[in-house]
Amino acid sequence: HTSDIAQACRAAHTQGVDLGVPQAVSRMTPRGLLEWSFSVSPTGERPMHGALPHLIQWANGSPVVHMPTTAVSLEDVALGAPAAALPTLQACVRALALPAVRVSEQATPLCVRLSTPNGLVTLQAATTP
């Protein structure tokens, strides 16, 4: 998520990555109306071989604050891309101010590690042939 989706899209664009044009979205929930802006690349696919996410900016704060606490926490995030795309991916990560995200040459575009009561769990995005 970002606090300035338009600026984040511009920052990625300066690196040659099109995150799309932010679109206003909303839906009614039992807690009231949720409103946010969401950017989707022109192709609808996640940019940089699936390594970069679509962006979201909540209009009135994230609904996460209403969720119950959990014993699961984010350990780290790793983004991967082919070697030729790594410099652009690294530049985008810096431009989007994602200091906790690691970038490396790997087959999986997205890998998330979670700390759970049962130990470390790794989730990886599916790769496409």
Sheet with 55-58: strands ordered across: 23-29, 32-39, 55-58
Mean pLDDT of the chain: 88
pLDDT in tens, 33-66: 999 999 998 888 888 878 888 899 999 888 888 7
What φ, ψ does residue 38 adopt, rounded to 5°?
-135, 135
